Amino acid sequence: MTELHLHLLLNHVPILGSLFGLLVLGAGVAKSSSPVSRTGLVMLLGAALVGLPTQLTGEGAREALEKLPGISHHLIQAHEAAAELGFWALELTGVLALLALLRTGRERLFIRLTLATAILSFGLLVRAGNLGGQIRHPEIRE
């Protein structure tokens, strides 16, 4: 299996994981439910962890795609830039989720910060995913 295959296999997990983690954490905050909030935090931490190999396989995927005819270098660069920004936002979300899970005494603060960064990282990851899809799917280009 190549880095391209791994990247394509993994790239949806951080996006969907951050969405589901965000929704579960939001429900936990809305209902003031610690178990539901902890579940959302664990989901967001998991999404951040899967974000690591997804990001690391991006370079190999780019190298494989650049060899193919009809591939836009501009779209690859746009996807790379967006993915890096989304990756770092997701990693920040994961760190905040971990701090909330460790019950540092400021758990409520870290839960709210995690929720805010989860919203941000999800939006950035959706944008990165859309740009990545445009590389091989001209039907979704504007």
pLDDT by residue, tens only, the chain of 142 residues: 888 889 989 999 999 999 999 999 999 999 999 999 999 999 999 999 999 999 999 999 888 888 888 888 899 999 999 999 999 999 999 999 999 999 877 889 999 999 999 999 999 999 999 999 888 877 777 6
* Torsion over CA: 60, 47, 19, 115 (sign): negative
Which pLDDT score is estimated for 57? 93
The confidence score (pLDDT) of residue 72 equals 84
User: Would you state the pLDDT for residue 82?
Assistant: 97
Strands, E assignment, the chain: none
DSSP-derived secondary structure letter, 102 = T
Range of the domain at 117: 3-140
pLDDT of residue 102: 94
The domain that contains 64 carries what CATH number? Answer: 1.20.120
What sign for the dihedral angle of Cα 53, 56, 58, 62?
negative
DSSP 105: S
Residue 78 to residues 31, 46, 125, 137, Cα–Cα distance (Å): 39, 26, 13, 15
C-beta of residue 93 within 8 angstroms of C-beta of residue 117: yes
Number of domains making up the chain:
1
Taking the model in full, what pTM does it have?
A: 0.92
